[in-house]
Amino acid sequence: MKRFLSILILTSIFSCGRDSSDSGKQVITVSIAPFRYFVTMIAGDDFSVNVMVPAGANPHVYEPYPDQIAKLGKSVAYISNGYLGFEMTWLDRFYEINKTMIRLSAGEGIEPVDPGHDHGHDGEHVEAADPHYWVSPKCALTIAASVRDLLCKLKPSARADYETNYTELVQIINEVDNKADSLLSEFRGKRFMIYHPNLAYLARDYGLEETAVEFEGKEPPPSRLKELIDIAKEENINTVFVQKEYDTRNARVVADEIGAGIKVINPLSENWQESTLDIIESLYNSFVQGSK
């Protein structure tokens, strides 16, 4: 509450001239760093992009700082995830702070995945759907099209450039999609294990099965740990995936029990192409090793 009160004060201070940043560029605020990738790949440096959840922060429970809200107050558009826990708490407040910015939910047009549990963490709202859709290349195509449409609306004079850049971005995403199809097709139905469930859309779109170490958004009780160990041994799982922002201790308990390794992934990286390829290739390598 104290942080929100300071935000309200800052909003009144920064409400003037909110259509441009300190660099003179219009500001677009995005909820997470991967969305910045789509904006910059299409618009280049035409806009200043304000990322609400910085690298290393947990987007399920994050609370924005005043300087981020100051940039939000200047923004001409906000690109939301639509399902992340911090947005369940803050999104209405964001729109109240800046009533004129254009709103885009990047998940529009993407069939949501049920989180399978409350997907909750202490101090956060329950997420109605799994929010990690950007990790799947097939979903990324939908995000790219939505971002292109938004940018063309914000700067119609640059439409031709944005359409060209969008076409090039689609080619990049299709290459990642083709690689996922090529590497993962022979492992359809294969299970992988991950600490926090953030690859559900990738699993759905490429025929895999995700098993989370977390239990109802919390550390797993002993009974769940035993169940996970049994699953891993039965299916020759040799890798436990862990998102960069999460503590690896419980994942290591399972990994040590089954003689598996830990693979840290970074789905919240601003470099969507690099991080997604790393995830796909790491899944493939774990399946190959598990089949030997």
| Sign of the alpha-carbon dihedral angle for 246, 250, 256, 260 | negative
Q: Rounded distance, CA 209 to CA 40, Å?
A: 32
Whether residue 263 is predicted with pLDDT greater than 50 in this model: the reply is yes
**For residue 102, what are the domain limits?**
2-177
DSSP state of 48: E
Residues 141 and 191 occupy one common structural domain: no
CA contacts within 13 A on the Cβ side of 73: 20
Which pLDDT band, with edges at 50, 70 and 90, does 5 fall under? very low
Q: What is the mean pLDDT of residues 195-224?
A: 89
Contact 69, 5 (CB under 8 A): no
Q: Rounded distance, CA 206 to CA 200, Å?
A: 10
Question: Looking at the 3D structure of the chain, how many domains does it have?
Answer: 2
Residues 170 and 191 occupy one common structural domain: no
Q: Rounded distance, CA 28 to CA 35, Å?
A: 11
CATH of the domain at 273: 3.40.50.1980
* Predicted confidence (pLDDT) per residue in 57-112, tens digit: 888 888 888 999 999 999 999 999 999 888 988 999 999 999 999 999 999 999 99
Residues 58 and 148 occupy one common structural domain: yes
* Predicted confidence (pLDDT) per residue in 100-145, tens digit: 999 999 999 999 998 764 444 444 445 668 999 999 999 999 999 9
Residues 144 and 221 occupy one common structural domain: no
* Residue among 21, 22, 17, 14 at smallest CA distance from 69: 14
DSSP assignment string, 171-238: HHHHHHHHHHHHHHGGGTT-EEEESS---HHHHHHTT-EEEESSBTTBPPPHHHHHHHHHHHHHTT--
Contacts of 14 (CB under 8 A, 6+ apart): 70, 73, 74
Q: Rounded distance, CA 203 to CA 211, Å?
A: 10
State the first-to-last Cα distance of the chain, in angstroms, to the nearest integer.
55
Name the average pLDDT for the chain. 87
Last residue of a domain, one of 159, 177, 195: 177
Last residue of a domain, one of 134, 160, 177: 177
Q: What is the mean pLDDT of residues 175-201?
A: 96
Q: Is 168 exposed, middle or buried (0-12, 13-18, 19+ CB in 10 A)?
A: exposed
Residues 149 and 13 occupy one common structural domain: yes
| Sign of the alpha-carbon dihedral angle for 26, 32, 33, 38 | negative
Residues 167 and 197 occupy one common structural domain: no
Last residue of a domain, one of 177, 211, 240: 177
Please tell me the least confidently modeled range out of 40-54, 63-77, 171-185, 216-230. Answer: 216-230
Residues 38 and 85 occupy one common structural domain: yes
Residues 69 and 38 occupy one common structural domain: yes
pLDDT at 242: 94
